[in-house]
Amino acid sequence: MLNVLTLSSLFPDATRPNFGIFVERQTAALAMRPGIAVRVVAPIGLPVWPLARSARFRAQAALPLREQWAGLDVSRPRFLTIPGTAGRFHVPALVRALTPVLDRLRDEARFDVIDASFFFPDGPAAVALGRRYGVPVSIKARGADIHLWGHAPATRHQVARAAMRADGLLAVSDAMADDVAALGVSRHRIRVHHTGVDQSRFQPIDREAAKRALGVTGPLVVSLGALIPRKGHGVVIDAVARLPGVTLMIVGEGAERAALTARAERAGVADRVRLIGAIPHAELPPLLGAADVMALASASEGLANAWVESLACGTPVVITPAGGAEDVVTSRVAGRIAQADPGEFAAAIRDVLEQAADPWAVRAAVRDFTWPANAAGLHSHLAELVARGR
């Protein structure tokens, strides 16, 4: 029996059901494999008073410290974050919060390996705790955990040191693995571990019927991601302004909502751009299945789940050359890779619309991106670390 302790500050809870849902799915798939037992520690960072009094943080503070979530045993310790310190003290605060929790879990049943599913602050904390408990540690790089924390002056040395001291390293794409190697780690130490998608839920449907259900006529473009500058929704708005008759639906929430609404008005396409906010993950398949194109002009990514989910629905993507774009856009049937420029995005979207590829041919681009395959790869990786340690 392989006993795994999964550590991830990126994990859903009742206040944020979509937050890190791909980590939840990965962990649940791992737990379903024979010969393995998984427990999850999903720490929640709470700021110092008086910021902790906000409605958002009060709701997170009220979450149970331990619960069953998606069939998983999940502990949710709190750790203190100090605004204005750029994350400098996140790791020691997290280690202090995790130590008594992991002591209790170890007393209940041993764990053989720590699987940190996000690089910061989880990775450095996992390395320290691995030394305490005498178990190997794996850390997975996903995107912003390297692109932001791995380069910020206050945290980059912590990230690089964790990468060098971890027993195993995973990355969501080849490009992400290269980014981790740039921290000073041998590229040969980093294993590419693609995400998965529920192929039974995300699959082609009757596109025209799905559009009618949404009240859409003509071509539909969907842009999926948090409303933050890094996701480049504004580029897609300006691109759609060059494509008469095309409707754009932007799925996600964030601080840029007002700015994006104003941008659509300035571009004269407010009647063709719908900002529909965040929606439950379970409601994504019919929306993605209705779209003719999923366009996302990200400045940086690891390998976006939105790309894989869209392709599984038979919807081609138009994306930037960020992160693992080339891991999924492996043919022109799957879509186009374009620079984050409204003119280039407009031309790429037009090209994809004119191509009108068979949705099932589009889906073939991600036929190997399944949660069972993801879990099998992770199981093999963790078992190898434990065997090597013994």
Question: Using one digit for the tens of pLDDT, what is the confidence trace for 167-191?
Answer: 999 999 999 999 999 999 999 999 9
Q: Is the peptide bond before 50 cis (omega within 30 degrees of 0)?
A: yes
Rounded distance, CA 258 to CA 124, Å?
37
Look at residue 54 and tell me whether its pLDDT is greater than 90.
Answer: no
Rounded distance, CA 336 to CA 76, Å?
41
Length of the chain in residues, anyone? Answer: 390
Rounded distance, CA 180 to CA 163, Å?
8
Tokens of 194: 């693609």
Rounded distance, CA 223 to CA 130, Å?
40
Strand partners, 294: 222, 317
Q: Are 386 and 136 in contact (CB under 8 A)?
A: yes
Rounded distance, CA 296 to CA 319, Å?
5
Q: Which residues contact 150 (CB under 8 A, 6 or more apart)?
A: 119, 120, 156, 159, 160, 179, 180, 183
Look at residue 53 and tell me whether its pLDDT is greater than 70.
Answer: yes
Rounded distance, CA 159 to CA 136, Å?
17
Rounded distance, CA 102 to CA 108, Å?
10
The residue with tokens 């065997």 is 387
Band of pLDDT at residue 90, cut at 50, 70 and 90: very high
Question: Using one digit for the tens of pLDDT, what is the confidence trace for 234-289?
Answer: 999 999 999 999 999 999 999 999 999 999 999 999 999 999 999 999 999 999 99
Tell me the whole-structure pTM to 2 decimals. Answer: 0.92
CA 313 to chain centre: 18
Share the mean pLDDT of the chain: 95
- The DSSP secondary-structure symbol of 281 reads G
Strand partners, 248: 221, 273
Question: Using one digit for the tens of pLDDT, what is the confidence trace for 116-166?
Answer: 999 999 999 999 999 999 999 999 999 889 999 999 999 999 999 999 999
